[in-house]
């Protein structure tokens, strides 16, 4: 890894926390891929409003079910949604401990009042990171430019000293526009490969 990289910034769901994609598939009756569904989810206004802390659970449920044209009952959806996050991917805790010996670690998550408390109570999430950025507490969401601007303002590092990992193309593109080097990764194996690739790329460029 390039010596200029000082902080690793992680998305949570899909990168370090496993998400049950059956939950979002249950909303869709059109056979779309998981990638397509998550991009729709990210850009759905009611989801952005909820995960930036602007509306409550009831309005969120009604809005999502309307957006996805689902006939699921709102209370059934909210119970399902709360359980979408399953916990750390196997091997992630060990990887984070290993990385923290060399780098500062942070997370930037589109989260909400149903998921984030579980992350703390059940998995002790914050214990693995030095900096914590959660959308519903910040008032903005990925891939909006303002959330990356807020993170850069809060961190004592330049964009080029940060390396960002996310499982969604839209968020990666937003990070790159903010000047932050970024990789699409899903789970710990892809994360390790990205770190190796980054190190190899930097070493090769330094020899040119």
Specify the DSSP class assigned to residue 17.
E
Our measurement of the distance from residue 57's CA atom to the centroid of its chain's CA atoms, rounded to an integer in Å, reads 20
Question: How many residues are given for the chain?
Answer: 208
Could you give the CA distance from residue 75 to residue 80 in angstroms, rounded to a whole number?
Answer: 9
Could you give the CA distance from residue 17 to residue 8 in angstroms, rounded to a whole number?
Answer: 16
The pLDDT of residue 205: 53
Measuring CA to CA, which residue among 88, 179, 171, 188 is closest to residue 128? 88
Specify the DSSP class assigned to residue 13.
B
| pLDDT above 50: residue 41 | yes
| pLDDT above 70: residue 64 | yes
Confidence of residue 32 (pLDDT cuts 50, 70, 90): confident
Measuring CA to CA, which residue among 117, 134, 138, 115 is closest to residue 54? 138
Confidence of residue 30 (pLDDT cuts 50, 70, 90): confident
The CA–CA distances, whole Å, from 180 to 2, 106, 172 equal 14, 14, 9
pLDDT digit string (tens) for 123-151? 999 999 999 999 999 999 999 999 999 99
Q: Which helix (H) or strand (E) holds 87?
A: strand 85-88
Measuring CA to CA, which residue among 124, 172, 131 is closest to residue 151? 131
The pLDDT of residue 201: 66
Residue that the structure tokens 């670690």 belong to: 105
Q: What is the largest CA-CA distance in the chain?
A: 60
- What's the alpha-carbon Rg for the chain, to the nearest Å? 17
pLDDT digit string (tens) for 146-165? 999 999 999 999 999 999 99
pLDDT digit string (tens) for 177-199? 999 999 999 999 999 999 988 87
Please tell me the pTM assigned to this model. Answer: 0.92
Q: What is the DSSP string of 45-56?
A: HHHHHHHTTSS-
pLDDT digit string (tens) for 6-18? 999 999 999 999 9
The pLDDT of residue 150: 98
The pLDDT of residue 2: 46
Average pLDDT over residues 49-69: 96
Could you give the CA distance from residue 113 to residue 134 in angstroms, rounded to a whole number?
Answer: 10
Our measurement of the distance from residue 24's CA atom to the centroid of its chain's CA atoms, rounded to an integer in Å, reads 16
The pLDDT of residue 1: 47
């Amino acid at each position: 890894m390039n010596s200029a990289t000082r902080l690793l910034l992680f998305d949570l769901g899909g990168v370090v926390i496993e998400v049950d994609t059956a939950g979002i598939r249950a909303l869709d009756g059109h056979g779309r891929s998981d990638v397509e569904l998550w991009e729709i989810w990210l850009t759905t206004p009611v989801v952005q409003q909820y995960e930036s802390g602007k509306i409550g659970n009831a309005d969120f449920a009604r809005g999502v079910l309307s957006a996805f044209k689902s006939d699921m009952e709102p209370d059934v959806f909210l119970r399902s949604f709360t359980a979408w996050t399953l916990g750390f991917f196997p091997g992630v805790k060990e990887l984070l401990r290993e990385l923290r010996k060399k780098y500062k670690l942070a997370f930037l998550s589109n989260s909400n009042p149903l998921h984030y408390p579980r992350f703390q109570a059940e998995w002790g999430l914050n214990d693995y990171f030095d900096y914590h950025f959660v959308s519903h507490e910040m008032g903005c969401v990925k891939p909006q430019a303002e959330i990356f601007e807020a993170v850069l303002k809060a961190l004592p590092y330049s964009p080029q000293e940060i390396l960002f990992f996310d499982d969604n193309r839209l968020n990666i593109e937003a990070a790159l526009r903010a000047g932050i080097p970024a990789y699409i990764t899903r789970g710990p194996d892809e994360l390790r490969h990205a770190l190796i690739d980054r190190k190899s790329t930097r070493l090769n460029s330094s020899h040119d």
